[in-house]
Chains A and B, each alone.
Chain A
């Protein structure tokens, strides 16, 4: 059994809404993710998926229970986590290159080294010709690839992805998903992907968790034993993929009413 990267034990999170009334967002969730696993979380809107990621990243603290990362209780943000959102959240006044440099800037990496590494990463996401372009001059898919390069610059041990491919059109999504798999598959880092797209979850992940409607609990924990390396477009008509998707869909459907 691999080392545990992330563990939630009996985690509950209660928000207070605008009137100060409590909102139970996450209800007694326990979960262990081994180092190097690609976990996908699916569930109806508002079931607490983003909230779980925010607790893992240290943006918010759980009301009850503990969140442990690499053997230590999470109390605040740390530099070995890469967080990606649906919108690329690039800094609009910075070129692609300077966006990728940002996490290195924060860590105090020297200017020359920063630039060299940023260019290397942009080449890796096939944006070598767009280094000096600003986000407004890039397409959605390109922007999300810059965001991937920027997250790679963090060299995260843990990737937290909150629907990072959802704003892309179908074809671009497949390209960017493949791109991500190719870059991730030899890093050994752990990924937790939140998505509304069940096929995406099954295509990309080693394991899929289905959550119930709010308050979120874990309903199904399914291993996806499709071998790696994977290519998203090759799998779409794969028999085993379709079986797994159908099985999980049955569980998820009941929560969507």
Chain B
């Protein structure tokens, strides 16, 4: 296109003609992506090196930590160890159950409390106390009550997740856009429509983050409870390993738990992005030329 052509066009037309996707800024960001990836790898390598030399130079007593190599070797020797897999399965099951029970309970209770204000006014002291109490400290008591098996872990995980979800749910249910409620009512929507088509989607939108956070806490809660006594589970394996100073296994288990948390968080994050794609702002989408 030459400049004499431009002069005959309206300014708007000129902008459209001059438009080159993607913009130079987007390109700049894109061209940064590869250095960022390289940077990440460098940082990870550095961290492992620091770890390695902490071990090698005796910064921390060698009896209490494992080296990167020892940890890797442990993984090599145990990746097909049925007992490790069983422990992983048990902990994962406890965490998932606790997460599902805790979020469902938190969501329902939060909605109920928002709907019946009087109920909240009456029960809030108890909830406030339970929420403030150090619930992880209940782990030994829960094991006494519910036994060594999985139930006690599910209960602890659920009780942590419950509050993580209940508190924001109650708040979100009170902040539903009143215009949406008006429109729903004037359309002839019944109580059921108001709940399923206005309140629930609004609330889920605001508490999705809390539900995702809850999944990681469920895993931590389950593992933590296992430290105090269990039949199987990663927490039990971990405490048993540290008791006999089997540090490669202890470090290996910590890695398994961390990787598990990252995976769960990632899967739910993907789901969240899929469900929340309506939130995409216009700046995220491609520029439209009509």
Chain A residues engaging chain B, CB cutoff 8 angstroms:
57-59, 77-79, 81-83, 85, 87, 89, 91-95, 102-103, 105-107, 134-137, 154, 160
Contacts and interface: CB of A to CB of B under 8 A. Distances in A.
A93 B278 contact: yes
Contacts of A89: 177, 179-180, 182-183
Contacts of B187: 77, 79, 83, 102-103, 106, 154
Interface in B267-285: 277-282, 285
Interface centre among B179, B183, B188, B280 (most CB of A within 10 A): B183
Nearest to A134: B278
A82 B182 CA distance: 11
A60 to B, nearest CB: 11
Contacts of A79: 187-188
B272 to A, nearest CB: 13
B101 to A, nearest CB: 26
Nearest to A89: B179
B67 interface: no
B246 interface: no
Contact of A134 (B197, B201, B280): B280
Contacts of A77: 185-188
Nearest to B281: A136
B83 interface: no
B104 to A, nearest CB: 21
B193 interface: yes
Contact of B188 (A85, A106, A137): A106
Interface residues of B, number: 23
Contacts of A160: 186
Contact of B183 (A78, A85, A135): A85
Contacts of B278: 92-95, 134-136
A50 to B, nearest CB: 10
Interface of B: 177, 179-180, 182-183, 185-190, 193, 197-198, 201, 205, 277-282, 285
B280 A136 contact: yes
Contacts of B279: 92, 136
Nearest to B177: A89
B188 A91 contact: no
A82 B197 CA distance: 18
B201 A93 contact: yes
A83 B180 CA distance: 11
B186 A57 contact: yes
A83 to B, nearest CB: 4
Nearest to B278: A134
Contacts of B177: 89
A82 B186 CA distance: 7
A149 to B, nearest CB: 13
22 contacts: A58-B186, A59-B185, A77-B187, A79-B188, A81-B186, A82-B186, A83-B182, A85-B179, A85-B183, A89-B179, A89-B182, A89-B183, A92-B279, A102-B197, A103-B188, A105-B193, A134-B277, A135-B278, A136-B278, A136-B279, A137-B280, A137-B282
A178 to B, nearest CB: 19
Contact of A59 (B179, B186, B189, B281): B186
A57 B182 CA distance: 10
Which 8 pairs, one residue from A and one from B, show the smallest C-beta to C-beta distance? A79-B188, A134-B278, A83-B186, A89-B179, A89-B183, A103-B187, A57-B186, A93-B278
Contacts of B182: 59, 83, 85, 89
B280 A91 contact: no
A87 B179 contact: yes
Contact of B180 (A78, A91, A137): A91
Given A83-B183, A103-B187, A137-B280, 14 more contacts: A58-B186, A79-B187, A83-B186, A83-B187, A85-B179, A85-B183, A89-B177, A89-B183, A91-B180, A92-B278, A94-B278, A95-B278, A102-B187, A106-B190
A91 B181 CA distance: 10
Contacts of B198: 91
Contacts of A137: 280, 282, 285
Contacts of B186: 57-59, 77, 81-83, 160
Nearest to B183: A89
Contacts of B193: 105-106
A137 B288 CA distance: 10
Interface centre among B182, B186, B201, B282 (most CB of A within 10 A): B186
Nearest to B205: A93
Nearest to A84: B183
Nearest to B186: A83
